[in-house]
Amino acid sequence: RSLFLSADAAGSAGAAASPDIAASSGTAASSGAVATPDASSGEIVAPDASVGATGQGGSTDRDDQEVPGVDVEPTPVLKELPRLWQVLSTYVLAETREGLIIIDQHSAHERILFERLSRAFEESGQTGQRLLFPLTIRLSKAEYEQVEALTGILNRVGFEVEGFGGNTIIVHAVPDPHPYFDAERCLREMITDLVAGSDLTRSAKNQHEKIAMTFACKGAIKAGQTLSESEMQELFDQLLATELPYHDVHGRPTIVRLSKSELERKFGR
């Protein structure tokens, strides 16, 4: 089973951009928010830090985004896959022709999950995996009322829940985004966030986006999770196949670039 991509979509994604993380047709360029490398810092930066793309905490529809004065030529996809390393069980390093790129594995997976669930919401939602032994979760009164109000949309996320009385819910099915997924922890943290409110949930334009952002944040692989070589490659490929690969749902960068010239300067070459 694919680690970072649902089985029904695995055949249509593939590697969508070159390891140089330049804009190419069919990836970030189609969203109107093309990121470009900053020559002085070596970081990948968006042309406008306030871009209001979906899942970045903005308020402007992605289709309405315009980036004046940005003209990026598509870069041909390299024939060879980049070599990847995991550092501190948190970051994935890739060697490119121009230097190194560093990917935050949690932020990258957050972006992948957000866009996947957002697409699923346009149809019937994503299917949950039924549990042989359902989970019984006791909540506060406010949390229980929140779940009651959101039962329908939680079902479309893959959480099949029903009230059991006494501020207790039974969970019959859960989403299965990756082998390391802790369904009970994710659901509890989602409910807590939705009840308490946060900058993330307040930035959402609608209820579906709020749920997708919260699920992506709580359900993504965590810092400290060791990944195999194939899992790193899949994460790399699927991040670059997203519409907005350069930021997670909080607006934080998913990718930082260190150019060869910057490395040479740091070593006094």
Tell me, yes or no, whether 190 lies in a domain: yes
When mean pLDDT is compared across 48-52, 111-115, 142-146, 232-236, the lowest value belongs to: 48-52
- Residue 47 forms part of a structural domain: yes
Helix (H, G, I), strand (E, B) or coil at 259: strand
Query: By C-alpha distance, which of 247, 174, 256 is closest to 217?
Result: 247
Residue 23: name the closest of 53, 48, 56, 46 by CA: 46
Statement: residue 57 has pLDDT above 70: no
Domain containing residue 214: 127-174+181-219
CA-only gyration radius of the chain, Å: 20
Instruction: Indicate whether 33 pLDDT > 60.
Output: no
- Of the residues 189, 204, 219, which one is the last residue of a structural domain? 219
Q: Are 81 and 143 within one domain?
A: no
Per-residue pLDDT band for 25 (boundaries 50, 70, 90) equals very low
Question: pLDDT digits over 39-49, tens only?
Answer: 334 444 443 43
Decide if 108 contacts 222 (C-beta within 8 A).
Answer: no
Quick one: 110 and 25 in the same domain? yes
Task: Mark whether 83 and 155 lie in a shared domain.
Answer: no
Residue 78, in any domain of the structure: yes
Rounded distance between C-alpha atoms, residue 146 and residue 251, angstroms = 26
Is 136 in the same domain as 201? yes
Query: How many independent structural domains does the chain possess?
Result: 2
- Stated as kind and residue range, the H or E segment containing 184 is helix 183-196
What is the pTM assigned to this prediction?
Answer: 0.73
pLDDT, residue 204, reads: 82
To 5 degrees, how large is the angle CA 207–CA 158–CA 147? 55
Query: Are residues 163 and 101 part of one domain?
Result: no
Asked, for residue 12, whether it belongs to a domain, the answer is yes
Neighbours of 180 (CB within 10 A): 13
* Residue 41 shares a structural domain with residue 19: yes
CATH of the domain at 185: 3.30.1370.100
Please check whether residues 108 and 21 belong to one and the same domain: yes
In Å, what is the CA distance from 245 to each residue of 16, 36, 147, 253? 11, 12, 31, 9
We report the CATH number of the domain holding residue 60 as 3.30.1540.20
Verify that 230 and 153 share a domain, yes or no. no
Instruction: Say how far apart CA 196 and CA 42 lie, in whole Å.
Output: 38
Does 78 share its domain with 157?
Answer: no
Q: Is residue 238 part of a domain?
A: yes
Residue 237 lies in a domain: yes
Beta strands in the chain (DSSP E): 36-37, 44-45, 84-87, 91-96, 99-104, 129-138, 160-165, 168-174, 255-259
User: Do 240 and 186 belong to one domain?
Assistant: no
Percentage helix, strand, coil for the chain under 3-state DSSP, each rounded to 5: 35, 20, 45
Could you tell me if residue 1 is inside a domain? no
Distance between CA atoms of 269 and 128, rounded to whole angstroms?
54
Question: Do 101 and 135 share a domain, yes or no?
Answer: no
Is residue 48 in some structural domain? yes
Residue 267 φ/ψ region, left for φ over 0, alpha for ψ in the -120 to 50 degree band, beta for the rest: alpha
Do 103 and 134 sit in the same domain of this protein?
A: no
Bigger pLDDT: 17 vs 119: 119
The single-letter DSSP state of residue 110 is: H
